[in-house]
Amino acid sequence: MRLDPDTLDRLPPNVARFAYDRDAQKVGIVHFGIGAFHRAHLAWYTDAAMSAGERDWMITGVSLRSDAVARQLNPQGGLYTLTERAAGEDVTRVAGAVRDVLVAGRSDARLAIGLIAPSTHIVSFTVTEKGYARAADGSLDLGLAEASFYPHLTRAFEERRQAGIPGLTLLSCDNLPANGDTLRRLMCEYLVAKSPDALGWFESECNCPNAMVDRIVPATTDADIDALASRIGLRDEGAVFTEPFSQWVIEDRFAGPRPGWDHYGAQFVADVAPYETAKLRMLNGAHSAMAYLGLERGHEFVHEAIADPELRALVERLMRDEAATSFEPAPGQDLDAYAKALLERFANPALNHRLAQIAMDGSQKIPQRWLASLAVHQTRSNKPIATLTALAAWLRHVRDGLFVDDPLKEELATTWRKQGVDGIVPALFGDNAPIASNWRPSPAEKAFLEAETAR
């Protein structure tokens, strides 16, 4: 039997659930990219806020490319379970904050109504790095943008402006440096080209706070869903499995009302940058290193990779000696404690976080995770061996093509065929290269990468 509002009373008493009347709540948030990652943080915090008494923050999810999540959640009335996994017993809760899921291109009229509604105050995003439709130089690619969220928001801005409805907060939860500032710049570029009349309204009425989310959310498998069904007596096709740890740091710069997420573990701060940088370079940077090096060594999961003594030593060096020393932490931000906590989280055997999942879209991820750190150390004449070793593993990864899932897959393969080992480094990281970054390899770094890649 499927989880839905009519079967909730069949759940065992040890499965917690939301404590509010879902039908009495208005939608306050429209979220683009409603995958498991979103449901494990923003929707989870929002569910906690409404369970504690806050009102009218239900979420309408939007899928831009696939109807998979709509097929998972809509038959369940938007309900899903979140299971926190650790070495001990799994802890499961039913979240009720998602009202429904719309599929762009099929439900555009309903999406427009949701974006225009005066009760909607926040539009949030987990569309991954490639969802922002950036060109190699970081500017907006207008062609790609047409298939993303930009046209939907532009129409909503025009309607809200003409009707005198207040502005929106656009809240990015993706792994981009200064994600809110980046979103604002790209949105402005789109409006300049497509709707100049809406540009001034957007700039004066809307805000785009920067934010950082830190929670490991492996892809849910059929075996996970089967095991959960056996344990709770209902089948949940939208089930999310994650770790107990969760961190969400948000710049307190909203255009209108917001939920009191800070009462349930989120942090509102004046400057997100040090937290964001720590996460990108220490957590995400270590994850990517384990993915490419671990797959080569025959590992499948993060906990297997971190148990490999050679890989663990490299990951510790990357986090502590290279990533953590490449930026200035915020007052009171303990990077050594953060590194220790990360190593413990990586070793969680209950999480089963697949390296192949982390390895996806590497061309979009490595500029923030590794190349920014390399650029800093280059100015200090340092040689960050661990990061360069990881970068060489990525070069071998895209050369061999065994597990590659990347928007630039064909371009990377073509470049490898044309350039070979001797030319691949400047071709990918030099001027006018497809990998957008301010890092240019020094002769010594180029020689190291070529030697490592050739082996």
Is the pLDDT assigned to residue 51 strictly greater than 80? yes
Binning pLDDT at 50, 70 and 90, where does residue 398 land? Answer: very high
- 8-state DSSP, 408: T
H or E stretch at 91? strand 91-95
Which three-class secondary structure state does DSSP give residue 139?
coil
pLDDT digits (tens, 9 = 90+) for 101-142: 999 999 999 999 999 999 999 999 999 988 999 997 889 999
CATH of 273-454, picked from 1.20.140.10, 1.10.1040.10, 3.40.50.150, 3.90.550.10, is 1.10.1040.10
Residue intervals of the chain classified under CATH 3.40.50.720 are 8-269
Residue intervals of the chain classified under CATH 1.10.1040.10 are 273-454
pLDDT digits (tens, 9 = 90+) for 133-154: 999 788 999 999 999 999 999 9
Compute the average pLDDT of residues 406-428. 93
Q: Which fold has domain 8-269?
A: Rossmann fold (3.40.50)
**291: which 2 tokens?**
């993915």
In angstroms, the Cα distances linking 336 to 171, 216, 308, 343 are 29, 19, 21, 11
Is the pLDDT assigned to residue 380 strictly greater than 80? yes
CB neighbourhood size of 390 (10 A): 27
Specify which residues 172 forms β-bridges with. 125
339 class by beta-carbon count within 10 Å (0-12 exposed, 13-18 middle, 19+ buried): buried
pLDDT digits (tens, 9 = 90+) for 154-165: 999 999 999 999
Q: Report the chain's mean pLDDT, rounded to a whole number.
A: 95
Whether 42 and 127 have beta carbons less than 8 Å apart is answered as no
